Amino acid sequence: MIRTYNDAILEQYGAFVVSTPTNFSVLNPTPFDIPLQWHIDPLRRSSGDFLNLLQRLDSLTFGPEGMPMDKWVFYDCAELPGFIYGFATPASELTPSERETFGVPDGYQGPVPFSMYIAIPMHEEGAWFGHNLASLNRTFPERNLHHLGSITKAVSLKAYGAERFFGATQWTSGAIHIHSKFGPLDLYTTYTPAHSMPETLTYGFPINDEVLRAAAGDPDIVLERPEPNLILDAEDIEGMKRLQEQIEDGGQVVLVNAPTYEDGRTLHSIHRES
């Protein structure tokens, strides 16, 4: 079993996966010896209530930021081509207030998701693109779900059998705190006009058990990181563009660690190699 920042999550919540039967055949159902409690088949009508609760989980996580997903995005981008993995609890273990917050249907006794990680397989063998990470740590602080997002992402990537990871996020996103736990991040873009939010970085990292265990919170694992030689302000668009030019000219740019904060500014530690 994996050691984490919050082992109580693995003790008190069960793992679920949403996948088609064909995709399920290539899933590792017991990543780090964590048993799978629920397999949800999106091709079955009986899965509808749970999939609606997944959308509610997404809305509770991202709704205040104006980023909730339509149901078709779940189906087209995750449930059919890839997986959704996370942790849940039976509806019977929710308080009346929690049932109301989720909008749990009357009579529903199935699992209610408290986290999920969506990843999509890429053409390159072993490569996966991270699409969505959601957890209700902040929504239900009384449940002590701290580090639920980090643990969910680490365990999910083990379940998917990922060997190389790619992701995209914004320089101002608090999720970089989670992504940076997987070690230094190779940057493929620092300014991305192809995205609806150009101030987006595209990053990647190689995956092995040491990386995943470190990200989940194993205290015995410390990942090596290069020394930073540049600090990038999360609002410095011209600085992003200069780094993008360096990448396009063949230079290597690495996001070294989680951001720091100073006088209301979000600062990122960068290592550049020409």
- How high is the pLDDT of residue 64? 56
Q: Please indicate, yes or no, whether residues 220 and 260 belong to a single structural domain of this protein.
A: yes
Do residues 200 and 111 both lie within one domain? Answer: no
Q: Are residues 146 and 221 in the same domain?
A: no
pLDDT at 218 over 70: yes
224-255 pLDDT per residue, tens: 999 999 999 999 999 999 999 999 999 999 99
What Å distances lie between residue 194 and 162, 199, 242, CA to CA?
Answer: 25, 10, 17
Instruction: Identify the pLDDT of residue 188.
Output: 98
Where among 101, 135, 162 does a domain terminate? Answer: 162
**Statement to judge: residues 202 and 150 lie in one domain:** no
Q: Where a domain ends, among 118, 134, 162?
A: 162
226 and 109 housed in the same domain: no
Mean pLDDT score, 92-108: 94
pLDDT of 59 reads: 87
14 and 127 within one domain? yes
Q: Which of 101, 133, 162 is the last residue of a domain?
A: 162
Give the chain's mean pLDDT: 94
Check if the beta carbon of residue 116 is closer than 8 Å to that of residue 57: yes
- Closest listed residue to residue 23, CA positions, set 6, 43, 7: 43
Going by pLDDT thresholds of 50, 70 and 90, the confidence category of residue 136 is: very high
In this prediction, residue 191 has a pLDDT band, given cuts at 50, 70 and 90, of very high
**54 and 115 co-located in one domain:** yes
Residues 62 and 97 in one domain: yes
Total domains, the chain? 2
Distance of CA 182 to the CA centre of its chain: 11
Query: Are residues 239 and 204 located together in one domain of the fold?
Result: yes
* 3-state secondary structure at position 62: helix
- Is 192 found in the same domain as 127? no
* Domain of residue 178, residue span: 163-274
Do 23 and 153 fall within a single domain? Answer: yes
Q: Does the pLDDT value for residue 77 go beyond 80?
A: yes
- Over the stretch 19-74, which tens digit does the pLDDT of each residue have? 999 999 999 999 999 999 999 999 999 999 999 999 999 888 876 555 567 889 88
17 with 43, same domain: the answer is: yes
- Based on its alpha-carbon atoms, the radius of gyration of the chain, rounded to whole angstroms, reads 19
